[in-house]
Amino acid sequence: MARIVGAYATSHVPAIGVAMDQGKTDEPYWQPVFAGYEASRQWMEDLKPDVAIVVYNDHATAFSLELIPTFALGCAERFPIADEGMGKRPVPEVVGHPDLAWHMAQSIILDEFDLTIVNAMEVDHGLTVPLSLAFGQPDAWPCPVIPLAVNVVQYPPPTGHRCLNLGRAIRKAVESFDDDLRVVIFGTGGMSHQLQAQRAGLINPEFDNRFLDLLVDDPEAAAAIPHVEYLRESGSEGIELVMWLVMRGALTPRVTEIHRHYHVPASNTAVGHLVLENQD
């Protein structure tokens, strides 16, 4: 049987990808950001997962306002890197795991979540920046990746509670797959940030750290945070944090916190990072 062996959550700030691609990680601005990812890079290297499920959001790259799936599961053989307007990032193409992805679609849809099945999709910084942080700069990503895109761009995004329950359905799906796969799950996006209008540049470390504490120890309370509170406290793009709840739901009720990193600022956001393992 397949099982979830660890969870990796991180912000996906595009400038982090640019800093890595351009060899700037040792510069004084970036050094404290990347220092917080060294231990978890080693953790990932030791873990050697067979597959990564990456819960992320598309930023009007693969999907536009013409088509807005709430939850979209990537079932393709491969996912090309998107050109977001500045050329493609020089990172390897993402190779999928169609067998596990189709099994997940079957299990999760029959569990009454109406996933959108995606057979062709380019992936943007929401997915590639977390892969770069976790795996560094290899010639090929070390494992296949199943993208799960969550709409956090156009209101209404899913509730935190719905996201936590989707994570539970993901765990059930993984644990009913016959092959002995060791699966790591990523939650991405956040932390507090607002990219436009009067409050552009908003960062709220108190909210962010409370969210990290709740996510680890009281995920039901984190899941009860309403959209209006994310908006007010963490800025308009802070709503990306609901994706961390999908990751958390895929873990056991109690978890061990392996690693945490929080740094302000990186570009316009606070950077947050958590590594968790199942306890039960």
Choose which of 4, 6, 8, 14 interacts with ligand DHB (CB under 6 A). 14
Residue ranges of E strands in the chain: 3-10, 51-56, 71-74, 78-79, 94-95, 116-118, 145-150, 182-188, 255-266, 269-278
User: Is 162 a residue that touches ligand DHB (CB under 6 A)?
Assistant: no
Of 35-43, 65-73, 178-186, 267-275, which part binds ligand DHB (CB under 6 A)?
A: 267-275
State in angstroms the smallest separation of the CB of 26 from ligand DHB: 21
Identify the three-state secondary structure at position 185.
Answer: strand
State in angstroms the smallest separation of the CB of 122 from ligand DHB: 15
Within residues 36-75, the interface with ligand DHB by CB under 6 A covers 59
Among 152, 121, 151, 128, which residue's Cα sits nearest to residue 15?
A: 128
Give the C-alpha separation, 128 to 188, whole Å.
Answer: 10
Cβ density class 160-191: b for 16+ within 10 Å, e for less: bbbbbbbbebbbebbeebeeebebbbbbbbbb
Q: Collect all residues with Cβ–Cβ distance below 8 Å to 203 and sequence separation of at least 6.
A: 191, 192, 193, 235, 264, 265, 269, 270
Task: Report the residue number, 171 or 193, with the smaller CB distance to ligand DHB.
Answer: 193
Task: Report the residue number, 193 or 248, with the smaller CB distance to ligand DHB.
Answer: 193
Rounded-to-10 torsion of CA 269, 228, 84, 125: 60
Number of residues that bind ligand DHB (CB under 6 A): 11
Task: Report the residue number, 85 or 280, with the smaller CB distance to ligand DHB.
Answer: 85
Of 13-21, 48-56, 159-167, 177-185, which part binds ligand DHB (CB under 6 A)?
A: 13-21
Site string for ligand DHB, 180-219 (x = CB under 6 A): -------------x-x------------------------
**Which of the residues are catalytic?**
125, 193
Site string for ligand DHB, 231-250 (x = CB under 6 A): ------x-------------
State in angstroms the smallest separation of the CB of 59 from ligand DHB: 5
Q: Report whether 123 contacts 172 (CB < 8 A).
A: no
Q: What is the DSSP letter of 1?
A: -
Where along the sequence are the contacts to ligand DHB (CB under 6 A)? 12-15, 59, 193, 195, 237, 267-269
